[in-house]
Structure 1
Amino acid sequence: MSWQNFRAKEPGPGARRRRPGRLLAAASLAAMAGLAFPAPFAHASEAVPVRCSARALVQAINTANSRPGPDTLRLTRKCTYKLTASDPGNAANGLPAITSEITIDGNGATITRDKSAPHFRILFVESTGTLTLNKTTISRGRATDCPGFPGRGFVCGGGINNQGTLTVNHSRVIDNTAASGVFAEGGGIDSDGTATLNNTEVSGNNAEYTGTDTSDAAGGGIANDGPLTVNHGYVHHNTVRVTKDTHSTATGSGIATFAQTTIRYSLISHNRASAPGGATLAALSNGAPGTVTDTVIRDNTSSAPGGDALGGGVATNDLLSMTRTQVIGNLATGAGMVRAGGIQVGRFGDLRLNSSTVGGNSATATNGGTAQGGGLANATGGTITSDRSKIRDNTARASSGGTAEGGGVFTAVGSTTLNHSSVIDNRAGDGGGIFKASGTVTLNDTEVKRNHPNNCAPPGSVPGCTG
């Protein structure tokens, strides 16, 4: 199930056309003659040294693919393998597709596309392939296709596209791009198979829709339509953007998830979604069951000048459990409907906050727009359950005669339950702590105090809340 299905569940700024199939869910560089290796090509547990040459790396992968069983390739320490041409077998990829079980031990090496080279992604893992990437930097890839949908103009996975099994350890995926005039997904990594990232940085990547019709871009850093696990990850300074005034949607500047996702001990920060005249969804946009534990999601921006911004830090339209997690300092801003500087819960969303903090976030509406929920917004029928969590110092603000409601929490239609929690020092035009337009808000042993200009609005709408 893809991010398009995630968004289709939400009423947006305008009607959106649907896409078929998965999007309803989201080698050599030259002739090899005469090339010699410093040692015979080893197999199984023996690591094969790969000299500091792009040609040598290409041949090593081709040889590993041609042999049964697993292979390990050991790159030259801190070498830069600069790809100047695409794989003759598939011009969309810089290196031969991974079709067998291969481990690349990078030793701090970098695999990059040369600035003068044609556009291509760096790595492609086929459905039969298993790739383990250790201590390697993947950079400057620029995807030109989406392997599951050839010939349709979709572009997916600027650095890595995974259709098989991918494990990335102690590595960096940086400065890659997926851009298309039809649909773009996964600036750094796009995974339809199974992916696990351990102690890995994903930064400076971009997913961009460049067309003139209404369409979308998703996953500036990572997009997954298969199971994804991120342990001790650092996902930062990625972008997702769409063409101005096309009523398009930019989703998940850091991570856009459309399959089961688990994130632990990670930092998702300083990512930016931009959709002038369109709509944006947050840095972590969740369209399938997800678990986030011991993670910080901070200082992300969701910007839709002339449009709608739904979630600065997190947006979910499925089950999302967040434990010992901080969603802090995020911003959602736009001129239309702006919801949730911190966490936006969609119609089918089920957010479960445990021992977490939603703090210092802002929903800011310009040009007479409406801001709802500086910290949390549950505006279309979802469910929020907070246990032992803090919602504090959030702001909903509007300029030029606009409306700002629910500095800490905004609820309409849905159900919000706060257990052993606190809503403190939040600000809005009305309902500084909590604004309940409709639905239900239940407070169990929860403090609502020091909010401005009031704790709850309309008066008497939230049982147990006064002032």
Structure 2
Amino acid sequence: MSRRYVPAVLGLVAGALVALPAPAAHAATVQVPCSVPDLVAAINAANSSPGPDTLQLARGCTYELTAPDPVSPGNGLPVITGEMTIDGRGATIGRDRRGTKVPRFRILFVGPTGNLTLTHTTISGGFATDCPAFPDPPGLACGGGISNAGTMRVSRSRFTGNTSSSELYAQGGAIDNPGTGSVSETVVSGNRVIYGGTAVGGIAAGAGIANDGPLTVTRSRLTGNTASVTPDTDSIAFGAGIISFAETTVENTVFSGNRSHAPGGIARAAVANGIPEPGRLTVTGGAISDNTSNAPHGDAQGGGIANNALMTVSKVKISGNRVVAEKGTARGAGIRVGPFGTLQLTDSHITGNTADAPNGTAQGGGLDNPDGGNLTATRNKILRNTVTAKNGTAQGGGLYHGGGTTGLGTTTLEGNTVTHNRAGDGGGIFKASGTLTLNGDVVRENRPNNCSPAGSVPGCTG
């Protein structure tokens, strides 16, 4: 070959090499020994990998974290920035709570570029001291177990004993989701969200899960979680099970034994829709049972559900929930609709809920729509709910309705059964103002009466 052809041939070869497609990134599976340094190294390697990786943890191991990540000290493990699956295979990742000198940190943070699938893993003992997705203003605390600002899929896992605590605003005792997330077949139990400050107007929201979404929760259990605030600071504890600030879908999930506690403040519901923002909270199937909102000399608003935005509830058992406010106001033991709330309730059972306010005011044992919200209830069973207030006012055993300050609040009932409810007045329904319509509903056998004041509800007698 003559020398003058060499550059041309090399050019053709180089062009061919450039044109070749890059080899596809292959998923890697890594066995992680029962060692925290090995887990840290595996996460760092997966973050650097061009493709998705699966980290298989040692079966039955407890990865006990005693110090935060040096790069991101709000977290126990390195920030998830790549795509990975952590398959716990029954392992636990937890913060060591035995040592008094162990600092506080959450377990996991999924950064904006992160994509985490977490399965068959227990996350325990995390303690959030910051809010990485919302760093301003400082002093917020979000997601004691996990905070997700990227993409997160949790399945067949457990979150237990995690805490988010702040002297300003705390949310997401176990899980905080400002990214895109899903939680399925998972138990979220015994987690806490705490406002521990002394200033007026603090907030503790979402002891189990706080969502700035979107988020889907399916076939899971949220039990025994607690939202609490410093007494007598006029602060709000709400969403002991879940608080929704964005599009949230909940399917076939159980909320039970959750508690919101706010002495001298506002305690609000196991399942709560936050402030009026775009996005609907949809709850289908499952149960919301035996939850409590307790606000001595304050306001207890919604034991099972409190809605102040857009919400749809269908085929849900809402039973045994309580709102308690000695020397205060207890409203909506089963469901409360706030002044900006719109709720569509269908084919559900609202049974055995109790509103109790000794020396105070109790209203709406089953349903409460007192402040100008909009409630449409179709084909529901509203049975055996109770409103009591020794030395106080007790109204609306099945339903309390008021139009609010504008008088524009509406409640439309169609095909419901309202029976065997009890209150001091309006054992079935108490209407204070606004518009309330019955259409083919059965309202009977309530004590001491079915509807009050007499004649206020067309179509209701006795």
User: TM-score, structure 1 length as denominator?
Assistant: 0.89
Q: Distance in 1 between matches of 2:174 and 2:119?
A: 17
Q: Per-residue displacement from partner, 1:219-256 (whole Å, max 9, x unpaired)? A: 01110111111000100000000001111110111101
Higher relative contact order (CA 8 A, sep 6+): 1
1:55 partner SS = helix
* 2:283 paired with 1:301: no
1:431 deviates by 0.2
Structure 1 residues 72, 397: CA separation in 2 closer, same or farther (over 3 Å shift)? same
Give deviations 1:129-185, integer Å, cap 9, x for gaps: 011001000000011111121561111110101111110010001100011111111
Q: Please tell me whether the aligned partners of residues 44 and 72 of structure 1 are also in contact (alpha carbons under 8 angstroms).
A: no
Structure 2 match to 1:356: 348
- Say yes or no: does 1:325 pair with 2:284: no
Deviations 1:195-232 (A, max 9, x none): 10010011100000001012111001110111111000
Q: Which amino acid aligns with 1:338?
A: A
The answer to whether 1:417 aligns with 2:403 is no
1:387 aligns with 2:378: yes
Q: CA RMSD for the aligned pairs?
A: 1.0
Q: Does 1:127 align with 2:118?
A: no
Give 3-state SS (helix, strand or coil) of 1:250's partner.
strand
Aligned partner of 1:340 in structure 2 is: 332
Conservation of the 8 A alpha-carbon contact between 1:431 and 1:455: yes
Partner of 1:46: 28
Point out 4+ residue stretches in structure 1 off by more than 6 angstroms: none
Q: Deviation string for 1:376-418 (max 9, x for gaps)?
A: 0000111111111111100111122x11110000000021111
The residue type equivalent to 1:398 in the other structure is A
1:247-262 alignment runs, 5 A limit: 247-262=234-249
Aligned position for 1:231:
218
Letter in 2 for 1:252: G
Q: Cα deviations across residues 304-362 of structure 1 (Å, max 9, x unaligned)?
A: 01100000000001121111101100000113221100000011111111110111001
Residue in structure 1 matched with residue 421 of structure 2 by the alignment: 426
Kept in 2, the 8 Å contact 1:443–1:463? The answer is yes
Provide the C-alpha distance between the structure 2 equivalents of 1:307 and 1:141, rounded to a whole number of angstroms. 31
**What's the secondary structure of 1:241's corresponding residue?**
strand
Aligned equivalents of 1:46, 1:162: Cα separation in 2: 23
* Residue 461 (1) aligns with residue 459 (2): no
1:121 deviation in Å?
0.4
Query: Once structures 1 and 2 are overlaid, which stretch shifts more, 311-320 or 150-159?
Result: 150-159
SS in 1 for 2:105: coil
Distance 2:356 2:455 in 1: 26
1:113 aligns with one of 73, 89, 95: 95
Q: Is the 8 A contact 1:142 1:177 kept in 2?
A: yes
Task: Give unpaired runs (5+ residues) of structure 1.
Answer: 1-42
Larger radius of gyration: 2
Distance in 2 of aligned mates of 1:151 and 1:454: 52
Deviation, structure 1 residue 45? 2.8
* Aligned equivalent of 2:46, options 64, 67, 73: 64
Report the 3-state secondary structure (helix = DSSP H, G, I; strand = E; otherwise coil) of the residue aligned with 2:43: helix
Q: Which amino acid is 1:236 matched to?
A: T
**1:463–1:151 Cα change, 3 Å:** closer
Structure-2 change in CA distance of 1:415 and 1:231 (3 Å): same
Q: Report if aligned partners of 2:27, 2:51 keep a CA contact under 8 Å in 1.
A: no
Question: Partner residue of 1:198?
Answer: 184
The match for 2:60 is 78
Q: What is the TM-score of this pair, normalised by structure 2?
A: 0.90
User: What is residue 282 of structure 1 aligned with on the other side?
Assistant: 269
Which residue pairs with 1:34 in the alignment? Answer: none
